[in-house]
Amino acid sequence: DQQVKQNSPSLSVQEGRISILNCDYTNSMFDYFLWYKKYPAEGPTFLISISSIKDKNEDGRFTVFLNKSAKHLSLHIVPSQPGDSAVYFCAASLNSGNTPLVFGKGTRLSVIA
């Protein structure tokens, strides 16, 4: 049961360029989406979120885009930095957050200097 899918297990990007991480979901009832970053031996760190009433949310170098009709969201990192190298998880929830998060499998981003 893969309600949240991240189809790219890994991505390599040159420093300074844009990183685009993608996520698809199947449950149209999801109304809140989050991106977490995870370093080895650490817990997921919250990056950015978006509510289903919006199609874009921006925070510094990070922008999340939501396309509800396609059930697709993406995380853009511009410019990418070596410190951004980590595993990025997409997560979704019902009822705006205080319900179980459903995670994707993650995408490992490597930013090459």
Question: Which residues of the shown chain bind other proteins in the complex (CB under 8 A)?
Answer: 32, 34, 36, 41-46, 49, 51, 89, 91, 96-106
**Nearest CB to other proteins, comparing residues 13 and 86:** 86
Q: How far is the CB of 99 from other proteins (least distance, A)?
A: 7
**Nearest CB to other proteins, comparing residues 39 and 81:** 39
Query: Residue 22, SS3?
Result: strand
Q: Which residues touch 17 (CB under 8 Å, ≥6 apart)?
A: 79, 80
**Nearest CB to other proteins, comparing residues 82 and 97:** 97
Residue 92 phi/psi, 5-degree rounding, is -135, 155
Cα–Cα distance measured from residue 74 to residue 81, given in angstroms and rounded to the nearest whole number: 18
Q: How far is the CB of 15 from other proteins (least distance, A)?
A: 27
